[in-house]
Amino acid sequence: MNLKESLTDFSRLLRQEGIKLTVAEVLDAARALSYIDLMDRGQFYHSLRITLVKKGEFYELYDRLFRLFWEKRLKIQKEKIESINQISSYENLSEIKEYINKNEKEGEEVTLTLYSPIEIKNIKILNPKDSYRKEIQRNIRRFKRFLATLAGRRVKSAIRGDIDPRKILRKNLGYGGELIKVVKKRKVKSRAKIILLCDVSGSMDGYSDYLVELLYHFKNSLHNTEVFLFSTNLIRITNDLSQGSIDYVARSITKRASIWGSGTKIGYCLGLFVKRYPELIDYNSILVIVSDGWDVGDIDELKANLRWLKERVSSLVWLNPLLDIQDYKPETLGMKIALPYIDIFASLSIFKDSKIYEKYFGKAIRYS
C-alpha cells in the first residue's frame, strides 16, 4: 500500500465531491499521520477528518467517502504498509505536492499554500454569529465561580476571620445584652484571574468563529482576564477584545493576527508566554489552554513549560473540541505529554451548551 499516493488520491476524491481542500491540508494530514498508530482505525479516521474537513456540514459526506475509499485498504497487514516516516520528512512532503500537481485534471486550479511549522502570513476572514451569547455568558460565570481563587463581596460565617457586629447583636439578643456568642465572617472566593491561550492553527480552523465569540465574552464578562492567540507565534489580544461590538473586534483581530491556519508549536508558544509575561503568572491564576493537541514542535519543550506553569498556577484547564467526538481518545503525542499536568480536561462546548457544562462541573455553583 503506497500511503503517499493513497492519501493524495483520497484528497482529490474529497475535492471532486465538493469539499474545498488545498495542498496545505493534505500536507497537514500527512504530518498528523506521523504521530499516530496507523493500525488504529479510529485514530486514522479522526486524524484525516480533523485536518482535511474544516466545516461540520461536510462530516457526513466525509464519513461516506472515507468508508468507500479506505475500508479495503485498512485491512492490509501492518508490515505491508509503507513507513509513515517516509511521508513525514520535508523532502517527501514536497513529493506529495508534486504528485498532487502532476495528477490534477487539466484546468483545475490548485492553491499551493503549503503547511509548515514556520509561521504562515494568513489573512483569516472571521464571521462570528454571536448565536450562543446568553448561554456562553451564563456558563462563563459558573466556570469562574467553580474555579474561583480571589475573594469577592459575598461573606459567610467562619471560625476564623473578622468580627461580624450585626450577627453578634442578633445572636446575643436573648442574653439580656451580654456578649455570650462571638460570630466571625470571611469573604467568599468568587472571582478568578483567568489566562486564556487559544490555538488558531490549521487543525482548529473549523472552530474559528465560535472561538472569537467565546474569547469576546470571556473578556467582557470577566474583567480580570488575559487572552492570547498562538500557533507558531504568540499574540496578545486582550485589549482588542474590549474595543466595541463583536463584529468590530473580529475585524480588529483579523488585521492583527496573521497566524491563523499555520502549524502548531504549543511548547514553543508556552515558552514565549513564560518569557514575555511572567508578571501574569501566580498561584491565583487559572490557565486555560484551548487546543486539539496537535503539535509539530519540540515535545521536550512542551513538557518542560507545562511542568513550570503547573507549579505556578492555581489550575491548568485544557479545553479540547475533539472531546465532542464519540470514541475520541487523546492519543496524539502532544496530548499524552500534556495530560499529567492538566487539572481539568473538558470539551470546548461547555460554554455554549449547559448540559455539556454540567457533565464536567455539575449543576451547583461552588463557593469556597
**Weakest mean pLDDT among 88-92, 205-209, 327-331:** 88-92
Question: Is residue 367 domain-resident?
Answer: no
> E strands of the chain, at which residues?
150-158, 162-163, 184-191, 193-199, 225-230, 234-236, 285-290, 315-319, 344-346
Q: Per the domain annotation, does 210 fall within a domain?
A: yes
Q: How many CB atoms lie within 10 A of CB 54?
A: 19
What is the domain extent for residue 19? 3-103
For a pLDDT cut of 90, what percent of the chain falls above it? 27
Cα–Cα distance for residue pair 40/62, rounded to 1 Å: 18
Q: What pLDDT is stored for residue 77 in this prediction?
A: 36
The rounded distance, in Å, linking the Cα atoms of 351 and 207 is: 13
Q: Do 169 and 198 sit in the same domain of this protein?
A: no
- pTM metric for this prediction: 0.62
Provide φ and ψ at 96, rounded to 5°.
-65, -45
Q: Are residues 171 and 302 in the same domain?
A: no
Identify which has the larger pLDDT, 364 or 105: 364
Residues 84 and 7 in one domain: yes
pLDDT value at residue 368: 42
Regarding whether 226 and 160 lie in a shared domain, the answer is no
In a domain, 45, yes or no: yes
Same domain, 350 and 314: yes
* 66 vs 112, residue with greater confidence: 66
Average pLDDT over residues 294-306: 90
What pLDDT is recorded for position 329?
87
pLDDT in tens, 335-351: 999 999 999 999 999 99
Q: What is the pLDDT of residue 364?
A: 56
321 and 212 part of one domain: yes
Q: Does residue 82 lie within any of the structural domains?
A: yes
Evaluate whether residue 120 is within a structural domain.
Answer: no
Question: Which is more confidently placed, 103 or 251?
Answer: 251
Q: Give the number of domains in the chain.
A: 3
Residues 127-146 pLDDT 10s: 677 778 899 999 998 888 88
Average pLDDT value over all residues in the chain: 77
Do 142 and 163 have their domain in common?
no
pLDDT of residue 110: 38
Question: What cell does 56 get?
Answer: 461540520
H-helix segments, 232-298: 246-256, 266-276
Q: Are residues 137 and 159 in the same domain?
A: no
Q: What single letter denotes the amino acid at residue 65?
A: L
Per residue in 2-57, pLDDT (tens digit) is 677 788 888 888 887 788 887 778 888 888 887 777 777 778 888 888 888 888 77
109 assigned to some structural domain: no
- Predicted pLDDT of residue 107: 41
pLDDT digits (tens, 9 = 90+) for 72-111: 565 543 444 443 344 444 344 455 555 455 554 444 443 3
Per-residue pLDDT for 217 more than 80? yes
Residue 117 lies in a domain: no
Reply yes or no on whether the pLDDT at 290 is more than 90.
yes
Residues 207 and 259 grouped into a single domain: yes
Taking alpha carbons only, the member of 222, 221, 200 closest to residue 211 is: 200
207 and 249 assigned to the same domain: yes
How much is the pLDDT for 350? 93
CATH of the domain at 341: 3.40.50.410
User: Are 203 and 323 within one domain?
Assistant: yes
197 shares its domain with 63: no
147-178 pLDDT, tens digit per residue, is 876 555 566 666 676 776 777 677 777 676 66
Q: Can you tell me whether residue 297 is helix, strand or coil? A: coil
pLDDT of residue 124: 57
- Determine the residue type at 301: E
Q: Is residue 113 in a domain?
A: no
Angle between helix 3-16 and helix 41-52 axes, rounded to 10 deg? 50
